[in-house]
Structure 1
């Protein structure tokens, strides 16, 4: 026993010294394809932080309420939250692997033991008896085990788990941004549909009145039957478009009901009580350096963390090919009871200090390392692709928003002047100075201009929402996470593949 204690005490400092050693790998850099500057017009005024209150800039409480309801009802957001919880406990498990484990044990047993003894006189006769006594054995103790992280495998697992937790959290924020953008688009589509429905109703009513007056004139012999037929056909065409528009609005409303989780009667009441159209606020200034702007996107940050996590997993797989050092120990007490006799024994051990050296595994560990490297290569490719996609989305949103803003003045002017032309043509038609064909042509032109303006307003809101989403929706990178993205065209991510 003394010899074992000496061996354990001699090996313990050695093991503690080895625990400080680690398998270090030189860091590498991943070049992200950030352009030096945007190649799209940038809006001015405000600031990037205004994105955090994006929806409240509209002064539309109903939109804010619908987005909050959609976040509660979204299965994608619930799944993302579940993945965050799972990643958090995985991180706890990976961190616990670096610490010693301690287990309590307890056992009890009961049996009998017997002894035989004899007595007698002559060799031809003897007698014997057996003494049987119950024996109770009680044991309790603590057992500890600690794997000394010689080559950093457990630390790499912990780092990978932490990166996955941060990535899952960023993806949860990205899911929130996606739900908000999808709900806003559905809401604006509902509003645009109602505006178009108003245009269609006005057009159908006007054509129906023209058809009625033309039919009366034809019956009196003042208008040719062909003109009356044309007016009736025009009214029927407008009525068909109106029916189709009502169906489109009903379908669009179903989509908003599904997203928000509100029942349709309640949603209809809320929509009726809210103004149909609101002016879009001025977009805040976008950072002129793409690397700075896109660092605020949770999906890009999640892809960046995916590279770091994959890099840590490569280190873990590589360390798996090296020896493992494990230290064990235990403390216990045993008590024996039998026939009024009771004895207690205290025991403790430090050790064994065991070293496991992998010798032959058929190439399994090497294959795991190569597989981890392949996953790292995939993560780098996905990160670069996410950056390219982010740049594309921001620039497309900027171009579309600038174009729709520039076209809005022309669209308003076109509707105003076509309306004046139609009013004049209708007055001339009522006086008999214009033909029905002139009136219908003027009406058709006005309807097309009104429809184009509604479509332009819809495009403008889509571009506005797209810019919100492409700029990260007001999400901010955690303060403790130093961003590798700088003002240089190429961003770098510190990794260790």
Structure 2
């Protein structure tokens, strides 16, 4: 090829990328509009200002809970899985970034044999570098990298969500366990009280002051209380073993720490924003769903770009060494090109089907994102409703428990003085026991509502 023809060739080929690049692909929007409510349809605790939720459990005054959450997060398979997905997403990002850059390979070989050109035995060695680069005309590789970036950001948010889930689960389980132990103490006190009543009734029966039927009622009541306490003890043992599996603690150590009394939890543990949009911005699962929409949008663009021509440039530089009959010959070569253009003509509809599949995945991601936003709003409002309800019932439950306890104490004093029947005593005892257990359950319900609100508000995650 003459010099003038070479110049003409490069003059014709160099503008080609610019001409082809003018045919840009159009991907669907990377952000899907949503309309969160302007305000919560539920009352906010303490007027609702944005608070730090990251380690709210430290405000409970329970050092054991802090240690249990740290231990559970350290061994949680969910957190480990989230970390693995971050590593996978980061590796995918590196691979997608590499597709935008040239690649360089080294080659070397050596041989010895008969060479027809030299008509003799020759030793041949050669080495070289081979470079290639796909010019991303229509943004296929850039779109793939964008999708990888978005999924990495989503994976990092899901790692925080996994930690939030573990913290919420441990806090919920700890509250349940302490509630069970408190109810066990109530059941044991009740069994002891009924046992004493049964003993006195037996003495009165033997003295002829109490009818056999009345003494039998007292013994039945005592037996029922013992059975209830045994059942409650079994429930607490199950709760302890669940906590051991969740945190990896040794059971004797856990039981020893649980025996230490804790201070009462404060009425308010944290506050959240009055604007739903601010809370939704703290939800890692909503953020991940939004990033998935952006990634799916980029993948649609990448699939569309596969339907257009592809342009690649390659080049090489090398050296060769030949020795025959005591004579050594060196040869150095280099090339730029070819500049290769690949134009898809017929593929049986494969590329079109890939675009349709990518578009369907985008539509699915958009629908899931909208559903995730609605779910997030619902979860926050449900937790707020539960908090409001427990706050409203708290005073009444305390008054009821105290009143029924006073009534029982008075009825028991009257029974000991012979002024009340055993039936009256058992009725007062049953009512007092139910009220005391209801108050303990209400306290657990309120703490569970705080835990639900913590989880629903995103656990203090920030983009």
> TM-score, structure 2 length as denominator?
0.95
Tell me how far apart the structure 1 counterparts of residues 259 and 16 of structure 2 sit (CA, whole Å): 74
- Give the aligned partner of residue 96 of structure 1: 98
- Give the aligned partner of residue 15 of structure 2: 14
Residue 440 of structure 1 deviates from its aligned partner by 0.4
Asked if the contact 1:146–1:327 (Cα under 8 Å) also holds between the matched residues in 2, the reply is yes
User: For the aligned residues, what is the CA RMSD?
Assistant: 2.0
Larger Rg, first or second structure (1 or 2)? 1
Tell me how far apart the structure 1 counterparts of residues 103 and 279 of structure 2 sit (CA, whole Å): 46
- Give the aligned partner of residue 457 of structure 1: 443
| CA deviation profile, 1:358-401 (whole Å, cap 9, x unmatched) | 00000000000001010001001100111111011000000101
Tell me how far apart the structure 2 counterparts of residues 72 and 284 of structure 1 sit (CA, whole Å): 25
4+ residue runs of structure 1 moved beyond 6 angstroms?
Answer: none
Residue 43 of structure 1 deviates from its aligned partner by 1.3
Asked if the contact 1:153–1:317 (Cα under 8 Å) also holds between the matched residues in 2, the reply is yes
Q: How does 1:274-313 map to 2 (within 5 A)?
A: 275-276=261-262, 278-313=264-299
From the superposition, tell whether residues 147 and 19 of structure 1 become closer, same or farther in structure 2 (CA, over 3 Å): farther
Asked if the contact 2:86–2:152 (Cα under 8 Å) also holds between the matched residues in 1, the reply is yes
| Alignment match of 1:49 (pick from 45, 48, 51) | 51
Residue 107 of structure 1 aligns to a residue whose secondary structure is: strand
Unaligned runs of 5+ in 1: 116-130, 478-497
Tell me how far apart the structure 1 counterparts of residues 6 and 238 of structure 2 sit (CA, whole Å): 80
Aligned residues: 461
- Give the aligned partner of residue 134 of structure 2: 147
| Alignment match of 1:40 (pick from 39, 42, 52) | 42
From the superposition, tell whether residues 114 and 290 of structure 1 become closer, same or farther in structure 2 (CA, over 3 Å): closer
Q: How does 1:374-385 map to 2 (within 5 A)?
A: 374-385=360-371
Residue 114 of structure 1 deviates from its aligned partner by 7.1
Tell me how far apart the structure 2 counterparts of residues 18 and 54 of structure 1 sit (CA, whole Å): 59
Tell me how far apart the structure 2 counterparts of residues 431 and 373 of structure 1 sit (CA, whole Å): 84
From the superposition, tell whether residues 22 and 196 of structure 1 become closer, same or farther in structure 2 (CA, over 3 Å): farther
Q: How does 1:232-271 map to 2 (within 5 A)?
A: 232-271=219-258
- Give the aligned partner of residue 466 of structure 1: 452
Residue 20 of structure 1 deviates from its aligned partner by 6.2
Residue 53 of structure 2 aligns to a residue whose secondary structure is: helix
Asked if the contact 2:289–2:368 (Cα under 8 Å) also holds between the matched residues in 1, the reply is yes
Tell me how far apart the structure 2 counterparts of residues 60 and 91 of structure 1 sit (CA, whole Å): 42
Tell me how far apart the structure 1 counterparts of residues 104 and 12 of structure 2 sit (CA, whole Å): 20
* 2:397 aligned with 1:395: no
| Alignment match of 1:192 (pick from 179, 182, 194) | 179
- Give the aligned partner of residue 85 of structure 1: 87
- Give the aligned partner of residue 198 of structure 2: 211
Residue 473 of structure 1 aligns to a residue whose secondary structure is: coil
- Give the aligned partner of residue 65 of structure 2: 63
From the superposition, tell whether residues 10 and 141 of structure 1 become closer, same or farther in structure 2 (CA, over 3 Å): farther
Tell me how far apart the structure 2 counterparts of residues 358 and 19 of structure 1 sit (CA, whole Å): 14
Residue 204 of structure 2 aligns to a residue whose secondary structure is: helix
| Alignment match of 2:433 (pick from 447, 452, 458) | 447
Tell me how far apart the structure 1 counterparts of residues 454 and 52 of structure 2 sit (CA, whole Å): 10
Asked if the contact 1:33–1:388 (Cα under 8 Å) also holds between the matched residues in 2, the reply is no
- Give the aligned partner of residue 304 of structure 2: 318
Tell me how far apart the structure 2 counterparts of residues 434 and 471 of structure 1 sit (CA, whole Å): 54
| CA deviation profile, 1:94-144 (whole Å, cap 9, x unmatched) | 0110011011111111113479xxxxxxxxxxxxxxx97431111111111
Residue 5 of structure 1 deviates from its aligned partner by 6.0
From the superposition, tell whether residues 255 and 292 of structure 1 become closer, same or farther in structure 2 (CA, over 3 Å): same
- Give the aligned partner of residue 156 of structure 2: 169
Asked if the contact 2:140–2:306 (Cα under 8 Å) also holds between the matched residues in 1, the reply is yes
* 2:111 aligned with 1:109: yes
Bigger CA drift: 340-349 or 26-35? 26-35
> TM-score, structure 1 length as denominator?
0.89
Residue 348 of structure 2 aligns to a residue whose secondary structure is: coil
Residue 429 of structure 1 aligns to a residue whose secondary structure is: helix
| CA deviation profile, 1:44-68 (whole Å, cap 9, x unmatched) | 2674232123111113221111111
From the superposition, tell whether residues 114 and 77 of structure 1 become closer, same or farther in structure 2 (CA, over 3 Å): closer
Q: How does 1:296-375 map to 2 (within 5 A)?
A: 296-375=282-361
Unaligned runs of 5+ in 2: none
